[in-house]
Amino acid sequence: MPEVFNWQLGRKMDYPYAERHPRSQFAFVFNINRCIACQTCTMACKSTWTFSKGQEYMWWNNVETKPYGGYPQSWDVRLLGMLDETHRKTGRNAQWETGQRGAADRPYGVYEGMTIFEAARNSERRDQVAIGYEPTEQEWRSPNFYEDTATGSENVPEKLSMKPASLPAHATWFFYLQRLCNHCTYPACLSACPRGAIYKRPEDGIVLIDQSRCRGYRKCVGQCPYKKPMFRATTRVSEKCIACYPRIEGKDPLTEGEPMETRCMAACVGKIRLQGLVQIGEDGKWKEDRYNPLYYLIKVEKVALPLYPQFGTEPNGYYIPPRWVPRQYLHQMFGPGVDEAIEKYTYPSRELMAVLALFRASQKIVFRYEIIEGPKIFERTVNGKPWSIYNDTVVGYSKNGKEITRISVEEPKYVRPDKHYNSI
Ligand code: SF4
Ligand code: SF4
């Protein structure tokens, strides 16, 4: 089996196809700390792409409550269990070697365990390119199962704490996890398809299923670790998130020819989502693009982390982890970069404060930002160190270099005139 380099794991790994990379890659950052689980994103996607017969259960975008929720039910617990089982049987360890982390090609260290592709070679199911399973109909039945259901830190119901919560980790907790296809660098869905019906677009890395080639074997459903391809019984083929590609191509009538964010991103009420395109070199490395907001958040500030990097698909969705959740849980979900990411988010740098203001500031994709410095508006001491907020202004530019947004750290206040008092 060919070897490919996975920078999220800091090493080469087995993958059924040799490396070939797009010129740019669709990617996104979600700030979990801000999500209010309003499901506006979910409905924006559903009402655009999956409102027809046979698509009733298809939620290409979903927001689930962790730790108990999941769509399909227990998708991650089941796969983590299968990965664990393979490690146990082979006597291997799924640890991260974090001693030399920080370099561009191993920012989180080196993952020493097996990915889903490597585990498949060590499992009894030799017919699979990646370990996985096809969910039952029961498991697809409730997209928001266990909504808002909390757990105690030791998973014992009587230990749920009613005491006031305090950071760093709450004794009783839950959080919302926003999910869609990660348009992975090494997609398991693509490698599993016996028809060659799944492809990754060279211009933007979006992963699509060719509906005319698909014969509904559902190998992609079984082997995508994130369970994002879904089978449509009325047409007998599989479907998945298409990253709203007409918008990315600048073909939406509202877009004036500029690339636009997807429907789920643009609709986000909590302003937790920022989506864009990052530039990829022929060697698969992200080209240095210091003032692309995604490059800054993921590669420079390292405040946003991939979801379950140990699966090995190099997902292109990144998350700012929730501050109040026990670290052990977060380490399993986002890898060893969690502590640094939370530290950076808790006491944000001047630049990070400004870039966070770009989330949902424009429907057009921000390709570059610049910061105009403003006055200091707040200061305090945190952990014995001085920390300040500045009212800087961040300006976002489109692909063609046009200014598309300008927003300051301190949001302007609007006072409603007296005549509207109690008018509704
Ligand atoms: S998340 Fe799943 S469906 Fe999407 S590209 Fe990755 S493997 Fe394929
Ligand atoms: S629209 Fe935004 S805030 Fe609302 S559920 Fe979706 S991600 Fe969360």
Mean pLDDT (whole number) for 51-57: 97
Residue 173 has pLDDT above 80, yes or no: yes
pLDDT of residue 119: 96
pLDDT of residue 366: 98
pLDDT band at 421 (very low <50, low <70, confident <90, very high): low
The pLDDT tens digits of the residues spanning 69-102 come to 999 999 999 999 999 999 999 999 999 999 888 8
pLDDT of residue 168: 85
Counting from 1 in the atom list of ligand 2, the atom nearest the Cα of 34 is: 3
Mean pLDDT (whole number) for 165-189: 93
Q: Is 402 helix (H, G, I), strand (E, B) or coil?
A: coil
Give nearest CA residue, ligand 2 atom 2: 268
Residue 383 has pLDDT above 60, yes or no: yes
How far apart, in whole angstroms, are the C-alpha atoms of residue 104 and residue 5?
A: 13
pLDDT of residue 417: 76
- Chain-wide mean pLDDT for the chain? 94
Contacts of 128 (CB under 8 A, 6+ apart): 120, 192, 222, 223
Pocket test for ligand 2, best of 39, 42, 62, 63 (most atoms within 8 A of CB): 63
Q: Which of 203-207, 288-292, 306-310, 378-382 has the lowest mean pLDDT?
A: 378-382
pLDDT of residue 100: 81
CA of 309 to the centre of ligand 1 (A): 13
Structure tokens at 25: 């890659």
Counting from 1 in the atom list of ligand 2, the atom nearest the Cα of 37 is: 5
Residue 251 has pLDDT above 80, yes or no: yes
pLDDT of residue 8: 97
CA of 48 to the centre of ligand 2 (A): 16
The pLDDT tens digits of the residues spanning 328-375 come to 999 999 999 999 999 999 999 999 999 999 999 999 999 999 999 999
The pLDDT tens digits of the residues spanning 196-246 come to 999 999 999 999 999 999 999 999 999 999 999 999 999 999 999 999 999
- Nearest ligand, CA 40: 2
pLDDT of residue 422: 65
Read off φ and ψ for residue 299, nearest 5 degrees.
-95, -35
Q: Which residues line ligand 2 (CB under 6 A)?
A: 35-41, 63, 178, 267-270, 272-273
Counting from 1 in the atom list of ligand 1, the atom nearest the Cα of 188 is: 7
How far apart, in whole angstroms, are the C-alpha atoms of residue 187 and residue 2?
A: 15
The pLDDT tens digits of the residues spanning 257-274 come to 999 999 999 999 999 999
CB atoms within 10 A of CB 410: 15
- Could you tell me the pTM of the whole model? 0.95
pLDDT of residue 157: 60
Residue 398 has pLDDT above 90, yes or no: yes
Pocket test for ligand 1, best of 8, 115, 129, 207 (most atoms within 8 A of CB): 207
pLDDT of residue 246: 96
Burial degree of 109 (CB within 10 A; 0-12, 13-18, 19+): buried
pLDDT of residue 424: 55
Q: Is 63 helix (H, G, I), strand (E, B) or coil?
A: strand
